[in-house]
Amino acid sequence: MAKVVAVTGNEACANALRQVNPDVCGIYPITPQTDMMQRFASYISDGKVDTESILVESEHSSMSACIGAAAAGGRVVTATSSQGLALMWEMLHIASGDRLPIVMPVVNRALSAPLNIHGDHSDAMGARDTGWIQIWSENAQESYDNVIQAFRIGEHMDIRLPVMVCLDGFIISHSIERMEYLEDQEVKDFVGPFRNFLPLLDLDKPKSYGPLILTDLYHEYKRAQHEIMTKVKDVVLNVAKDFEKLSGRKYGLFETYRLEDADIAIVILNSAAGTTKDVIDEFREKGIKAGLIKPRLFRPFPYEEMAEALKNTKAVCVMDRADSFGGYGPLFMEVSSALYPLGNRPLLTNKIYGLGGRDYLPSHAAQVLTELNQIAQSGKVSVLKEYIGVRE
Amino acid sequence: MAETVEIRWHGRGGQGTVTAAKVLADACLSGGRHVQAFPEYGPERAGAPLRAYNRVASKELRMHCPVLEPDVVTVVDATLLDSINVADGAKETTTFIINTTKDPAEIRTKLHAGPKQRVITVDATKIALDCFGRAMPNSPMLGAVCKATGLISIDHLLEDVKKSFGKKFSQKIIDGNIEATKRGYEEVKEG
């Protein structure tokens, strides 16, 4: 039986971690994630979980501790944001290269300088190429559901990779929303017991992690990592099917909203997708065929499926809450790559919005949809990449 | 109830405004409703002006941005009336609930409220001082919001106040806040 609650995104993720009851958790505070690990630390001190906490002096150490614990043979979690994720960067590659299924909620926050504590996607986009699976979440419910599913995905015996679950800092992490919790036993049964793969603590079979591999086999090792990533989509979909049976909530590689007959579409991640959906409804009422895609699995990116979903649209705006200065926004580059093989492609634009927590308002979505409608009719894009919601 | 009710709270850091928005959200969960409660985060300092928001709806709430056109504006600290425009984005039918010693008529003039806008006052700070000896007007303001909006029954709200304050405070403070919530509900003046 589901329990209806009104909680913050951080609270929801902390509760998911409590229900999973991992073996080890590396803990280091950083706004806006702090409150999640603080709650989880309370569960540990109150005896609600059997987790061993490792309090560390930095995020680099936190990820290092997680790597050690995961290689030793434990189910391991941590959480971070922004500068914390940036400081982990070196160790993120080691977690994925050593194929350690660590689960880490990332509460998305802007990167310094200038110093800013608010939500944008620069942190997780900066970790795009670290070899981690990335799953993105619109609201508290999705954050909770994705954290639970992340264990099944990362720990799958064909995968064994670390997973980041991304949610928007403050907008979701600190906002209270109605959502549903599963029962503790349901989560425990869904996630199942941790299955070990080559644990260091199996002392009868000594082994080594992270050896030196030079020109002889490094290239092959990296190709193997790429090939594992190609299997992730199927696992994500199978886990989502099981999760739907349990919860009634449906998940895929991405969510489409009113897209089937859409002429124009917005591709947008996380909490801003919700605001956009409401505005799409308004445009539909005016007779404008607008739709939306909200990516869920960003690494590996579902290129073919995304192209298939967008192939009948006339104009698409990819909206990024992060920028690659001197390039396009990171989500735009993926969608653009996905669409290139199509003979008949929609026209594309890229809007950068909401950096450092700048509000994304319904008027911004309306502005983008109005422009898309003009592009669909004229067949012309005047500005390809543009910042919106900017104070002049 | 309208499909969605949007509330904007104006307070100062340290008055329990954010807590009030959270308690209201929790109390409004009943009947399968969807709720949101979120503050505007800035540098958090006691005494600094802050805003918090609620949405209460019969359908799923997907909007994740500040409330721009509030149905209800709640002002927890009347000194804010002189420093910010609490009527920003207000609708023709917006309800204003103000913590003040002044009469609704005087506040109505000050706000330049329209004929369809409701102006409701309550001396929440005095009620708080009477009931538990601290100038924390959030619980009587909750009582006033309950009365003015009819979003929830007072009995239901009192249960939630008990639950929320029970986690942090002594029995004396909890009882004081319950009494203050009741008085806030009873002592609203409209004009």
What is the rounded CA–CA span in Å between residue A139 and residue A172?
Answer: 6
Quick one: DSSP state of residue A356? G
Q: How far is CA A73 from the centre of its chain?
A: 25
Contact B22 A359 (CB under 8 A): no
Residue-range definition of the domain harbouring residue B40: 4-190
Quick one: DSSP state of residue A107? E
Selection from A312, A355, A283, A292 nearest residue A125 by Cα: A355
Banded pLDDT at B31 (limits 50, 70, 90): confident
Select the residue of B39, B62, B66 nearest A274 (Cβ to Cβ).
Answer: B62
Q: Give the global pTM.
A: 0.97
Average pLDDT over residues A177-201: 97
Q: Which residue of A has its CA nearest to B30?
A: A4
Q: At what angle do helices A140-154 and A218-247 cross, to 10 degrees?
A: 130
Contact A6 B37 (CB under 8 A): yes
Q: How many CB atoms lie within 10 A of CB A197?
A: 12
Contact A4 B41 (CB under 8 A): no
Judged by CB atoms within 8 Å, which residues 49-78 of B form the interface with A?
Answer: 61-66, 68
Banded pLDDT at B148 (limits 50, 70, 90): very high
Give the model's pLDDT for residue B164. Answer: 86
- For residue A362, list chain B residues with Cβ-Cβ distance below 8 A: 63, 65
User: Is the torsion defined by CA of A23, A26, A27, A29 positive or negative?
Assistant: negative
**Residue of B64, B151, B164, B167 to mutate, interface with A, max A Cβ within 10 Å:** B64
What is the rounded CA–CA span in Å between residue A77 and residue A103?
Answer: 5
- For residue A171, list chain B residues with Cβ-Cβ distance below 8 A: 38, 64
- 3-state SS class at A150: helix
Shortest Cα distance, chain A CAs vs residue B7, angstroms? 14
Give the amino acid at A41: A
What total of structural domains would you count in chain B? 1
Summarize pLDDT for B45-70 with one digit per residue, the tens: 889 999 999 999 999 999 999 999 99
In chain B, what percentage of residues exceed pLDDT 90? Answer: 87
Give the model's pLDDT for residue B168. Answer: 82
**Domain A3-182+213-247 annotated CATH 3.40.50.1580:** no
Residue with the two structure tokens 């505070």: A29
User: Is the torsion defined by CA of A44, A188, A15, A70 positive or negative?
Assistant: positive
User: What DSSP letter does each residue of chain B carry, written as one string?
Assistant: --SEEEEEEEEETTSSHHHHHHHHHHHHTGGG-EEEEEEPPSS--TT-EEEEEEEEESS-----S--SS-SEEEES-GGGGGTS-TTTT--TT-EEEEE-SS-HHHHHHHHT--TTSEEEEE-HHHHHHHHHSS--THHHHHHHHHHHH-SS-HHHHHHHHHHHHHTTS-HHHHHHHHHHHHHHHHT-EE-
What is the rounded CA–CA span in Å between residue A146 and residue A156?
Answer: 15
Summarize pLDDT for B71-96 with one digit per residue, the tens: 999 999 999 999 999 999 999 999 99
What is the rounded CA–CA span in Å between residue A252 and residue A271?
Answer: 17
CATH topology of domain A254-387: Rossmann fold (3.40.50)
For the domain that residue B85 is a member of, what is the CATH number?
3.40.920.10
Helical spans, DSSP H, in chain A: 9-20, 34-45, 59-72, 82-97, 122-126, 140-154, 184-191, 218-247, 271-285, 303-310, 330-339, 362-378
Judged by CB atoms within 8 Å, which residues 20-39 of B form the interface with A?
Answer: 22, 25-26, 29, 32-39
Summarize pLDDT for A313-357 with one digit per residue, the tens: 999 999 999 999 999 999 999 999 999 999 999 999 999 999 999
- For residue B25, list chain A residues with Cβ-Cβ distance below 8 A: 6, 176
Q: First CA to last CA across chain A, in angstroms?
A: 52
Q: Do domains A3-182+213-247 and A254-387 have the same CATH topology?
A: yes
Average pLDDT over residues A288-292: 98
Residue with the two structure tokens 């620069």: A122
- For residue B35, list chain A residues with Cβ-Cβ distance below 8 A: 6, 176-178
Contact A6 B35 (CB under 8 A): yes
- For residue B62, list chain A residues with Cβ-Cβ distance below 8 A: 274-275, 277-278
Shortest Cα distance, chain B CAs vs residue A272, angstroms? 7
Contact A174 B38 (CB under 8 A): yes
Contact B25 A6 (CB under 8 A): yes
Contact B36, B53 (CB under 8 A): yes
Summarize pLDDT for B9-24 with one digit per residue, the tens: 999 999 999 999 999 9
Summarize pLDDT for A228-242 with one digit per residue, the tens: 999 999 999 999 999
Per-residue pLDDT at B1 exceeds 70:
no
Contact A278 B25 (CB under 8 A): no
- For residue A360, list chain B residues with Cβ-Cβ distance below 8 A: 64-65
Which two three-digit tokens encode residue A277? 């959906």
Judged by CB atoms within 8 Å, which residues 157-186 of B form the interface with A?
Answer: none
- For residue B163, list chain A residues with Cβ-Cβ distance below 8 A: none
Select the residue of B36, B41, B68 nearest A177 (Cβ to Cβ).
Answer: B36
Contact A271 B25 (CB under 8 A): no
Question: Domain locations in chain A?
Answer: 3-182+213-247, 254-387
Question: How far is CA A233 from each of CA A36, A253, A304, A351, B146, rounded to the nearest angstrom?
Answer: 28, 7, 11, 27, 48
Contact A176 B68 (CB under 8 A): no
Per-residue pLDDT at A52 exceeds 90:
yes
Banded pLDDT at A286 (limits 50, 70, 90): very high
For the ranges A27-31, B132-136, B162-166, the lowest mean pLDDT is seen at B162-166
Summarize pLDDT for A2-40 with one digit per residue, the tens: 899 999 999 999 999 999 999 999 999 999 999 999 999
